[in-house]
Amino acid sequence: MSVSDSETSSHGGDHQMFRQVTRDRLLYEMLKSSSKSSWKVLIMDKVTMKVMSASCKMADITDQGVSLVEQLFKRREPMPNMDAIYYIQPIYENLIMFISDMSGREPLYKKAYVYFSSPIPKDFISRIKGDTSVVPRIGALREMNLEYFPIENQAFVTDHERALEELYGDNAENSRESDVCLNTMATRIATVFASLKEHPIVRYRVKDTPGSAEATFRDLVPKKLASAVYDHINTYKTTIPKFPATGTCELLILDRSVDLVAPVIHEWTYDAMCHDLIDLDGNRYVMEVPSKSGGDPEKKEFLLEDHDSVWLEMRHLHIADASEKLSDRMDNLMSKNKAAQLQQKDSSELSTRDIQKMVQALPEYNQQMEKLSLHVEIAGKINAKISKDGLRDLGQIEQDLVFGDAGNKELVNYLEENEDGNDENKLRLLMIYALADPENFKGEKGMTLMELANLPPEDMRIIENMRLLEGPTKKVKQEKKGGFTLKFNKETKSALRKDRQGEEETWALFRFFPVLEELLEKIDKNDLPKDEYQCMNEQSGVLGVVGHAAKGAAQQSRRSRRTQAHAKYASDDGYTSDSVLKNVATDLKHMGQRIFVFIIGGATRSELRVCHKLTSKLKREVVLGSTSIDDPPQYITVLTINLSPPFPLNSKSEDAFHERSQWTETIYKLRINALIPTVCFIGTKIWNAEGNVFVFIKKKKSQIPALEAEGALAQAVAPPDGHGCCELTDADLPSGQGVDETNLRFYFHSSRLQ
């Protein structure tokens, strides 16, 4: 029985991409090397199950001799003749379940190989040794140190979708919930470096001088996280064999305030448009495909991920480029694939040899046609949505506001010409304007623009919360140092970005770039302002220069590299085959040291795009980490957290609230202690003295199919002291009753069950 981490370092040999290292550790270091039995059981908790699902496919797991995957807290059948691999978090509930499984005369499994996802508490070993029947049945006891969720080759999340609420909310300061969130986040980030055996130089963004009158608890969150991560790294130096003693990579910790435009502006890449405009379930898309039996079309689920070669090629292209390339690829497939060519002939003209060729080419044709048809359908839906919602005009004024080419006059003209436009799109536009020209969005000026956009006054809460995240600004320093708030026209217009020099001119709506792109380039040049980005463990020698050694090779045209690959691996559709995409890492053999960036409060698709772009440009793998990946609708929802006091209801809304309360009382037979008309927001938790609260959730008009379905938009929030709550569903609503559509707001009333 031993407690150790991986003996396999990620240093040396050919460069492996971040997600590949994670996958290999789980499959080979844990599953393959554990038990020599032909078949074994894999047992995980909810968190480690998600880690495994994000890293490996079920076929990968079964290839390592796993015949059954079980959840720790679900009832399991005894299998005394099989070995079990436990991949679990080091928490006491899990330890109790493990000891219960393996203790006594009849344990559930023959032998247990236990892998903890993060460092174990000091008393774990003594607790296990305390049961003498368990110890002989343990084949391995190790700290796997792998508790992050790789969502693609160069990105991971810590699964903290409520990070803004828990760390920046009105009640976050010194709260237990905030401490737990921060500590768990730090632990999971640190396991990234334990897994890769990388020692990061840890930097964090400083929004203001700590301890100054302007600094708030929100401003200090990045520093607290950096300090917690650094503490874990120091521990690894003594607990993990061969862990580097000095820096081998760089880690920059930011929060969402570093770039508040990126989460709301329309990003025009295929990837971003898919998640912004198409109804996806995560990365899942459902499409109708021809039935194999010749009957009605069947629905099939597709995953938009790294295993899809078409997705890999198209995801970071402008939607216009992607649409054009998809059309070209379909034409190439029809003209070059033997099965497609022969299908166009008259059946009477087909010889036996022709039929034989068609049968041989048919499987490849069907596979490629299915992939292309999927993306052609998605691209078609995106383009239809762009036309229907007038997104080209919207995108143009968004970009013009960001780059200082438009101001209040242009904004007002747009709003007057688009009175019936999508509410969410208009809100996003006003959020951008509030950042670009805050002086002209204060007080009555802002409310006037909200009225012109036909947005409810309560939506101002979202913009105010965004501004609170921004925190104190340092305008003088930014202007002096060429920061990100730059003024082009001192009379009327200001800019949040300046056009980048030397960038290839492409589509007009492809000007926008996230702040992260400039920060990463400054890291590579060792040019980050030290007063704005402080270091936890500065050391002599500059890591930034490692990226320069390979710069000469990086200057080689990416177009010429694609041409070489094409010539070697051309497929029937005239484009690169899957084998090329599976061997992309061959272009990364001589990579510099990794750069990691972690963003508290959610990262965006545009930030993920620049990480891929700069990996190729800088010849250094850039890995993006975040609490979550948020698309604009989710981000706007998150901004309804309690950062500032709520707005009051108007009289009409209050009448509607009382009307709703009457029939709610009848349905649930509630004794109403108090009616408190107010406005609250998604995720808000308001507890009365009795501990029971109803929260009615606001949704925008465009997301409500009919008023009769409005009950599905309501939910009850469980209070902290465990009192019961009701959940209001569509089935509970009296037919036809609801709040007037123009006054759909958040409402709650305190209540107690009889």
* Range name among 63-67, 71-75, 210-214, 379-383 with the lowest pLDDT average: 210-214
Q: What is the pLDDT of residues 207-225, one digit of tens each?
A: 765 455 567 888 899 999 9
Query: In which band, very low, low, confident or very high, does the pLDDT at 66 lie, cut at 50, 70 and 90?
Result: very high
Whichever domain contains 70, its CATH number is 3.40.50.2060
- Max mean pLDDT among 157-171, 279-293, 353-367 falls in 157-171
Task: Give a yes or no: residue 280 inside a domain.
Answer: yes
How far is the C-alpha of 128 from the C-alpha of 99, rounded, in Å? 7
Task: Give a yes or no: residue 575 inside a domain.
Answer: no
Contacts of 152 (CB under 8 A, 6+ apart): 19, 305, 306, 608
Which is nearest to 605 in space by CA: 394, 317, 322, 399? 317
Asked whether residue 573 carries a pLDDT value surpassing 70, the answer given is no
Q: Domain ends where: 370, 388, 406?
A: 388
The token duo for 681 is 């927001």
Positions of E strands within 581-693: 592-600, 620-626, 670-674
Task: Give a yes or no: residue 580 inside a domain.
Answer: no
Q: What is the pLDDT of residues 396-408, one digit of tens each?
A: 999 999 999 999 9
**The pLDDT of residue 636:** 92
Q: Residue 171 in 3-state DSSP? A: coil
Q: Residue 749 in 3-state DSSP? A: coil
**The pLDDT of residue 158:** 97
Same domain, 496 and 530: no
Q: Considering the chain, what is the average pLDDT of its residues?
A: 75
pTM of the model: 0.77
Select the more confidently predicted residue: 585 or 527. 527
- Max mean pLDDT among 225-234, 440-449, 465-474 falls in 225-234
Task: Give a yes or no: residue 583 inside a domain.
Answer: no
* Range name among 128-142, 153-167, 375-389, 654-668 with the lowest pLDDT average: 654-668
- Measured from the Cβ of residue 549, the count of other Cβ atoms closer than 10 Å reads 11
Same domain, 161 and 228: yes
Task: Give a yes or no: residue 584 inside a domain.
Answer: no
Same domain, 124 and 161: no
Same domain, 452 and 496: yes
How far is the C-alpha of 696 from the C-alpha of 712, rounded, in Å? 10
Same domain, 106 and 175: no
Q: What is the pLDDT of residues 351-373, one digit of tens each?
A: 555 545 555 555 666 777 888 88
**The pLDDT of residue 486:** 36
Which is nearest to 395 in space by CA: 604, 624, 632, 614? 632
Same domain, 504 and 539: no
Whichever domain contains 398, its CATH number is 1.25.40
Select the more confidently predicted residue: 211 or 182. 182
**The pLDDT of residue 80:** 93
Asked whether the beta carbons of 4 and 142 are under 8 A apart, the reply is: yes
**The pLDDT of residue 510:** 86
**Domain, as residue range, for 474:** 391-510
Q: Domain ends where: 388, 411, 437?
A: 388
Average pLDDT over residues 221-235: 96
How far is the C-alpha of 516 from the C-alpha of 715, rounded, in Å? 37
Q: Domain ends where: 146, 165, 194?
A: 146
| Amino acid at position 237, single letter | K
Task: Give a yes or no: residue 7 inside a domain.
Answer: no
Positions of E strands within 219-336: 249-255, 284-289, 298-303
533-535 vs 200-205, strand pairing mode? antiparallel
Same domain, 491 and 529: no
Contacts of 519 (CB under 8 A, 6+ apart): 252, 254, 258, 528, 597
* Range name among 254-263, 466-475, 647-656 with the lowest pLDDT average: 647-656
**The pLDDT of residue 455:** 92
Average pLDDT over residues 143-158: 96
Average pLDDT over residues 550-561: 37
Count helices and strands in the chain by DSSP H and E runs? 27, 20
Same domain, 103 and 172: no
The token duo for 611 is 């990480």
**The pLDDT of residue 580:** 37
Look-up of token digits 């992260």? 516
Query: In which band, very low, low, confident or very high, does the pLDDT at 500 lie, cut at 50, 70 and 90?
Result: confident
Select the more confidently predicted residue: 474 or 722. 474
Average pLDDT over residues 671-681: 28
Question: What long-range pairs does 420-425 form, CB within 8 A, spacing at least 24?
Answer: 421/389, 421/390, 421/394, 422/389, 422/702, 423/453, 423/454, 423/455, 423/700, 423/701, 423/702, 424/632, 424/633, 424/636, 424/700, 424/702, 425/389, 425/391, 425/394
First-to-last C-alpha distance (Å) of the chain: 55
**The pLDDT of residue 681:** 32
% of the chain residues with pLDDT over 70: 67
Query: In which band, very low, low, confident or very high, does the pLDDT at 267 lie, cut at 50, 70 and 90?
Result: very high
Whichever domain contains 285, its CATH number is 3.90.830.10
Average pLDDT over residues 740-745: 28
Select the more confidently predicted residue: 156 or 34. 156
Average pLDDT over residues 255-278: 95
Same domain, 245 and 210: yes
**The pLDDT of residue 589:** 62
The token duo for 627 is 């609490």
Contacts of 97 (CB under 8 A, 6+ apart): 72, 73
Same domain, 331 and 349: yes
Select the more confidently predicted residue: 500 or 539. 500
Same domain, 303 and 317: yes
Asked whether residue 294 carries a pLDDT value surpassing 60, the answer given is yes
Average pLDDT over residues 120-137: 92
Task: Give a yes or no: residue 586 inside a domain.
Answer: no
- Max mean pLDDT among 12-21, 141-150, 204-213 falls in 141-150
**The pLDDT of residue 209:** 52
Task: Give a yes or no: residue 460 inside a domain.
Answer: yes
Same domain, 291 and 379: yes
**The pLDDT of residue 545:** 42
What is the total count of domains within the chain?
5
**The pLDDT of residue 560:** 32
3-state SS, one letter per residue, for 99-163: HHHHCCCCCCECCEEEEECCCCCCCHHHHHHCCCCCHHHEEEEEECCCCCEEEECCEEECCCCCH
**The pLDDT of residue 503:** 67
